[in-house]
Each structure stands twice: as C-alpha cells, then as structure tokens.
Amino acid sequence: MFVVNVEGAIRRNDKWLLILRNEKEQHAGGSLSLVGGKCEIEGNSSDILERTLQREIYEEVGIEVTGLRYVNSSSFVTDSGLNVIDIVFICHLKAGEPYAKSTEEVDDVVWMTTPEILSHNGLPTYLKENIKLAEKLL
C-alpha cells in the first residue's frame, strides 16, 4: 500500500547535512535531499522508524546519530506511481564525519545554512518546509 520513508535533519555549526542523490536513484535522482531511506518489512518489531533512520544514515554517509525527535510527516506519489509516507526527524551527530559512503545512492554530501536552503531555486518546496519546521524545534 505505502512505502514508508524516514529522513534525518542533521545540523552542525548552523548548517544542515544534505546529500546529492545519485542520478540513477529511482526517486529524485540527481537532487539534494536529507539523508534517509525506506523501512524494510520486519514482522513484529519496535522503534522501526528510528532504527531504520539510524541504519540508513550510517549506510549512506557513514555517521552515527542519536537523539531523534519527530519533525513532521507527509505523503506523496513518486513519478513511478508509488505511494510514500515520509517521516522527518531531527538527529544529533554522535560520531563520524559524513561522506558519500554508498556511492550507488549518494554522489556527495553538502552542508548548507537555513538561508542558503530557503533561497536555493533548485531545491524542492518540501525540503525547504522540512528545514523550516526542524529549525523551529531547535
């Protein structure tokens, strides 16, 4: 029915961590986004959103995060027709220096301030809204 996707808003020194998605990515290839990914089927489990986000962040950019706090949720339909529920969390950097660890998914990591993100013409409205909401929670 739905793909459940989680994303992490990670901030350091007044800048947010974004990834440049690989061109081959099915959804939003070649664009900047928050770090995250899809939940996998686990049967009966707990904390699936938080564990998935921590795993995806480590797999994609090689860092550990902690202190996850809910920001917002939304839904959208991908270009290929998949229905997605997207949940965003603020995360605190616990260990590591982010880099494009999963080269199949991530081409680069970029740090941007809130004003840089909000004034960037090439970024989607939903990313700007997520950053504004995360900023309010700091």
The total of structural domains in the chain comes to 1
> For the whole model, what pTM was predicted?
0.92
In this prediction, residue 25 carries a pLDDT of 65
* 112-129 b/e (C-beta count within 10 Å ≥ 16 → b): bebeebeeeeebeeebee
Q: What is the pLDDT of residues 36-56, one digit of tens each?
A: 999 998 888 899 999 999 999
Query: What's the average model confidence in pLDDT over 91-104?
Result: 95
CB 37 within 8 A of CB 21: no
Which band of pLDDT confidence, cut at 50, 70 and 90, is reported for residue 78?
A: confident
CA angle 105, 106, 111 (to 5 degrees): 150
Say which CATH number the domain at 91 has: 3.90.79.10
Range of the domain at 39: 3-137
